[in-house]
Amino acid sequence: MATMATATSSYNRMKEVKEFDESKIGVKGLSDSGITSIPRFFIQPPETLYDLKSSSTLTNIPIIDLADVSSSALRPKIVEQVKDAARTWGFFQVINHGVPVSVLEETINAIKAFHDQPHEVKAKFYKREEGQGVMYASNNDLYRAKAAAWHDSLQAWMGVRKAKVEDIPEICRKEVVAWDKSATEVAETVMELLSEGLGLEAGKFKELTFSDQRAFVGHCYPYCPQPELTVGITPHSDPGVVTVLSQNHVPGLQVKHGEEWVDVKPVPGGLIVNVGDFLQIISNGEYQSVQHRVLANSCKEARISIVIFYNLNKWKGDGYYGPLPELLSPEKPAIYRNFTMQEFHDNFYSKAIDNKSLIQKLEIQN
């Protein structure tokens, strides 16, 4: 008995995490090795696991048709739909956005091909240098999170902090560049609609350089032998302004709506857009950044998602960010205080991905 107690207490979590990281094998490698039980450091805390079982009666998030955005007669209705979805769901899918289905499919296939490569090939790209260049790793927050999640990611900075294009693995380089361009066009259209929804000029967010610091991420969620013990991505909100995402047909993404977790089902050719913490703050709480997660994949086929995260670069120039002054009045005072980019970064990089911790910190208590 005494030996068992010692064995249990001597479990050295950090050592195992480090060995996994240094092996550069990723969860894809673990999955492909045929393991039937997951390493202990992937087991999520009871509160996360308990919540996995909940199911929803709602069948999907709002779907918004952008076909008529250029029609001055029909645009106001689309503005209303986008505004409504951003206020009540924080998540929606757009269709008829102008990005050819071939761009989506080719990028998803190229990212799948990257993750499907043999260990020796991928290991050359494996590194942890957040906030710049190109990085391939399992769990960006591996050393900060309480428990690891069942995904690997390839990340590349675009926009003004752009990685050297030749550093993007050749197997997906052309596709990532094309997807970044297409997703950014859609993001610009959606940000115009969101800006109009706040009563501002369409170009306001572009003027505030919402897309200047953006990051591409190509996630792979391989088959997980014990999906009831872990997650694909832990519940979190996205820190930036807005996120544009496309996924293959393997399910797993869920959004919190009220007390329910709602499945985000792929619609053919649809793109998923969600509000980030930064947009909730600068819209003075008008638009909601919403918690979401990915379940650990129980299908034999890998789930793939291609994502672009949009972050502001410049602003009014005084170094402080906060609710847009145009939206404030004596009836609608600021509900968040101003903050610096340093504070934003310190908050993000000091802990695991989490749910709206920056927003909570900035709330003005009345």
The pair of three-digit structure tokens given for residue 155, joined into one six-digit string: 């990340």
Query: Which one, 79 or 245, has the nearer CB to Ni ion?
Result: 245
Residue 330: CB minimum distance to ligand OGA, A: 37
Residue ranges that bind ligand OGA, judged by CB under 6 A: 217, 219, 233, 238, 245, 247, 253, 292, 294, 305, 307
Which of ligand OGA, Ni ion, none binds 247 (CB below 5-8 Å, type-dependent)? Answer: ligand OGA
CB 134 within 8 A of CB 176: no
Residue ranges that bind Ni ion, judged by CB under 5 A: 238
Q: Which residues contact 73 (CB under 8 A, 6 or more apart)?
A: none
Which of Ni ion, ligand OGA, none binds 307 (CB below 5-8 Å, type-dependent)? Answer: ligand OGA
Residue 308: CB minimum distance to ligand OGA, A: 10
- In which residue are the tokens 């087991």 written? 43
Query: Which one, 229 or 245, has the nearer CB to ligand OGA?
Result: 245
Query: Which one, 21 or 238, has the nearer CB to Ni ion?
Result: 238
63-65/91-95 β-pairing: parallel
Residue 304: CB minimum distance to ligand OGA, A: 8
Which of ligand OGA, Ni ion, none binds 253 (CB below 5-8 Å, type-dependent)? Answer: ligand OGA
Q: Which residues contact 241 (CB under 8 A, 6 or more apart)?
A: 191, 205, 210, 276, 278, 279, 282, 310, 311, 312
Query: Which one, 294 or 324, has the nearer CB to ligand OGA?
Result: 294
Residue 317: CB minimum distance to ligand OGA, A: 29
CB 308 within 8 A of CB 274: no
Query: Which one, 115 or 219, has the nearer CB to ligand OGA?
Result: 219
- Give the residue nearest to ligand OGA (CB): 305
- Rg from Cα positions in the chain: 21
Which of Ni ion, ligand OGA, none binds 122 (CB below 5-8 Å, type-dependent)? Answer: none
H helices, E strands: number in the chain:
12, 14
CA distances (Å), origin 239, targets 42, 99, 221, 348, 364: 23, 25, 21, 8, 19
